[in-house]
Amino acid sequence: MSVPASSFSCGSIGVMRIKETLGAAFPPAHLLPDLPADAIERHMGWLAPSHYDPAKRRFVMGTHSWLLRTKHHTILVDTCIGNHKPRPNSPGFYDLELPYIERLAHAGYKPEDIDLVLCTHLHVDHVGWNTQLRNGRWVPTFPNAKVLCSKAELVSAEAKANADRPGEDDRAIWQDSLLPVLEAGQLQTITGAHAIEDGLLVEPTPGHTPGHVVLRAESGGQRMLFAGDLCHHPLQVYYPDVNSRFCEHAEGARATRRRILADCAESGALFAPAHWGPPHAARVKANAGSFSLNWA
């Protein structure tokens, strides 16, 4: 088994990508319905092969956690899909059996070493490894970790799960990936901006979901921004008004995306979302009302 594909540093903060999945995923028109018809052709020079598979005509995407190591904390940002999860409405996520924990171990960490998990939001592919199946029960994967999410996001997730007609897999996500950490006393909600420690700030970025957040890291004059699903695919940097089909609040998602991309362009922060192909993070440049990327 190989070492995690990407590692970075942000001053004294060590950063690693812990892979869960990577490969040909959605057709462009499915993920980004409003993408201009010529976008793939115009950007093919950098899209293939890391971000688009021309033979399959699908975006190359993945799921991964970002692991941050500071003087005080070992942090996972987002916990992907998870193993053995019943997801009948999400065939690509159904009953997986992937070596995520083994990859974490190869990076030098056990589940017990994680003391903080930040869920940027509570969609199916960001909460799965909060729990694992043991002896027929869902139990917390990271027994010593505090699990953070925004209060608005937890309220939204609970409402979806308890609706008369819940959406795709919403009730299952609540029952197998959220309720066990809630009942174990590990889940903590936050409101507004929240400092984890000096140089690590959780910031509200609503739009993709009601309570979506990002994590800003700053150390030694360097900056990174762990962006969750603000941009599912790098093309959304070039077309910031194009939402994914999974954005819950269209105008809010567009406004937040533009705000954060502009901030990264100005500050020089390395932009690190949850689903991009290699090298998985990039610098953002402002470009006449839009943006472009310099790959890390």
Task: Classify residue 2: in a domain, yes or no.
Answer: no
Residue 208 included in any domain: yes
| Secondary element (H or E) of residue 97 | none
**Ordered per-residue pLDDT tens for the chain, 296 residues:** 344 447 899 999 999 999 999 999 999 999 999 999 999 999 999 999 999 999 999 999 999 999 999 999 999 999 999 999 999 888 899 999 999 999 999 999 999 999 999 999 999 999 999 999 999 999 999 999 999 999 999 999 999 999 988 777 899 999 999 999 999 999 999 999 999 999 999 999 999 999 999 999 999 999 999 999 999 999 999 999 999 999 999 999 999 999 999 999 999 999 999 999 999 999 999 998 899 999 96
User: Residue 226 domain-assigned?
Assistant: yes
Whose tokens are 């500050």? That residue is: 267
- Specify the pLDDT at position 164: 85
Q: Is residue 277 part of a domain?
A: yes
pLDDT of residue 254: 98
Supply the pLDDT for residue 2: 43
Please check whether residue 80 lies inside any domain of the structure: yes
pTM score of the predicted model: 0.96
pLDDT in the model for residue 175 = 96
Cβ-contact 12, 70 below 8 angstroms: yes
Domain tally for the chain?
1
- Give a yes or no: residue 151 inside a domain: yes
Give me the pLDDT at residue 238, please: 98
In a domain, 1, yes or no: no
Residue 163: both structure tokens together: 């609706």
pLDDT for 90: 85
DSSP H helices in the chain = 28-31, 39-47, 100-106, 151-161, 170-173, 179-183, 235-238, 250-267
Q: Which domain holds residue 226?
A: 7-295
Note the pLDDT of residue 1.
Answer: 37
Which one, of 239, 237, 207, 213, lies nearest residue 225 by Cα?
213
Q: Which residues contact 256 (CB under 8 A, 6 or more apart)?
A: 205, 206, 207, 208, 212, 230
In a domain, 91, yes or no: yes
Q: What is the CATH number of the domain that holds 56?
A: 3.60.15.10
